[in-house]
Amino acid sequence: MLQIALLGFGVVGSGTAEVLTENQKQIAAYCGDEVNVKYILDLREFPEHPLGDRVVHDIKVILDDPEVVLVAEMMGGAHPAYDFTRAALEAGKSVVTSNKEVVATFGAELLELAREKGVSYLFEASVGGGIPIIRPMQTDLASNEILSVSGILNGTTNFILTKMKNEGAEFSDVLREAQKKGYAEANPSADVDGLDAARKIVILAALAFGKLLNPNEISTTGITGITKDHTAVADKLGCAVKLIGHTEKIDGKVLALVSPYLVSGSNPICHVDDVYNGILVDANMLGRALFYGAGAGKLPTASAVVADIIDVLSHRFTERKLPVWVPAKADEIAAVEDYACRRCYLIEGCSRCAEKAKAALGTDTVVTLEGGRFAVVSKEMTEREATEAIASTGLTPIFCLPVLD
């Protein structure tokens, strides 16, 4: 019997117990032995739950039990999740986690500690919910240089943007619905202000380029400012408004950002709707590959946690190669002003203003909207160049969104 402990018995923790119970036989077959949840660490009691008798309130019980070989951390938040993870690794136990905050903030040191202790630290569920993305990037794409990763990384905001587009719904009503469905973070500001996506793109950037950026320091804009104007412009241009995390290298430096984008209809991410996530990886040998699936929710996320549990337990007799991440130094991080893409501006003004904007932005792409407004899409230019070009026209844009082609 392989003994494991679950830290946190909320949405993902209880989902993990459900997956382990429901698919018990096939999981045992993969692991070569039965997997038993010996402990569940939570502040609460769960007297009605079949595993309610496994609940403990003191992490020491788990750390001091030599039978426990693996800890699945699904507590959320930085502390005490990080502290318990360190303690479990120190105690020679492998850790798997869905906690993107801990991975994005402390991933470099936790991977290093796991390596030192000869155990594993896996985090498939931290990005893209149930979508396999972390393991494929580490294994199937190992023969490639990653050129860029662009993704819809937050299910809650994609659910909201899809409803706003399809039903003309109000932001706050849809947010409540997403919370009820268990998609949103405990504090939904992390979803709608983009921090959750920032943590996830930082993890993907580290996998792609080996440098771990600080998720609190990358350029991050959420969706609270998205209005019907944005949706109308997107419609006119055959695009959709999506919250995108993007990473690429610019002159050898790593860029990572989160922003609402206009995603072109020709890009498969444009059609990723509802709570689904879509992650487009551009690799130098493979080309573009889309990873698509349920990006949030109890069982999809638990499915990824259990995949890591199986991975650790089925490879318990072999040495694992964990990725090496190094915290990015200031001179290894690209400035967002150097990021080149097309940009869409909504501007109030007459046809003469539109001509001026077209000339400055080197483009012919203009559509007119009601209320004496027009939207113009620049040629590909850096943010710095685009800002200077618009300033030279004397026009004041109502908004500017980057375009993902």
Distances (CA, A) of 84 to 7, 41, 89, 106, 169: 9, 11, 9, 13, 41
Catalytic residue among 200, 298, 356, 358: 200
Residue with smaller CB distance to ligand HSE, 62 or 174 = 174
Which lies closer to ligand HSE via its Cβ, residue 152 or residue 212? 152
User: Smaller CB distance to ligand HSE: residue 223 or 234?
Assistant: 223
> Does 97 contact ligand HSE by CB under 6 A?
no
- To ligand HSE, the closest distance from the beta carbon of 181 in angstroms equals 10
Residue corresponding to tokens 């690209």? 334
**354 phi, psi to nearest 5 deg:** -60, -40
8 part of the interface to ligand HSE, by CB under 6 A: no
Select from 73, 185, 248, 383 the one that contacts ligand HSE (CB under 6 A). Answer: 185
Q: Is 151 in the site for ligand HSE (CB under 6 A)?
A: no
* Contact between 191 and ligand HSE per CB under 6 A: yes
Kindly identify the residues of this chain, within the stretch 343-372, that bind ligand HSE according to CB under 6 A.
none
Instruction: Give how far Cα 86 sits from Cα of 37, 71, 310, Å.
Output: 20, 11, 21
The secondary structure of 10-45 as a DSSP string is SHHHHHHHHHHHHTHHHHHHHHTS-EEEEEEE-SS-
State which residue has the least CB distance to ligand HSE: 156
Part in contact with ligand HSE (CB under 6 A); list of ranges 107-115, 151-159, 282-290, 341-349: 151-159
| Residue 59 C-alpha from the chain's centroid | 28
| Residue number, 196 or 311, with CB nearest to ligand HSE | 196
Least Cβ distance, residue 195 to ligand HSE (angstroms):
10
Give the footprint of ligand HSE on residues 283-312 (CB under 6 A): 295-296
Query: Rounded distance, CA 263 to CA 403, Å?
Result: 6
DSSP 201-246: HHHHHHHHHSEE--TTTSEE--STT--HHHHHHHHHTTEEEEEEEE
CA distance 353 to 108: 50
183 counts as binding ligand HSE under rule CB under 6 A: yes
Alpha-helix runs per DSSP H in 260-394: 298-314, 351-361, 383-393
Residues near ligand HSE (CB under 6 A), total: 11
User: Which stretch, 105-113, 153-161, 224-232, 393-401, contacts ligand HSE (CB under 6 A)?
Assistant: 153-161
Residue at token pair 């830290």: 7
Residue 25: active-site member: no
The residues, ordered by sequence, that sit 6+ positions from 109 with a Cβ below 8 Å of its Cβ are none
Q: Which window, 149-157, 312-320, 334-342, 366-374, contacts ligand HSE (CB under 6 A)? A: 149-157
Positions touching ligand HSE (CB under 6 A) are 129, 154-156, 183-185, 191, 196, 295-296
- Show which residues are catalytic: 200
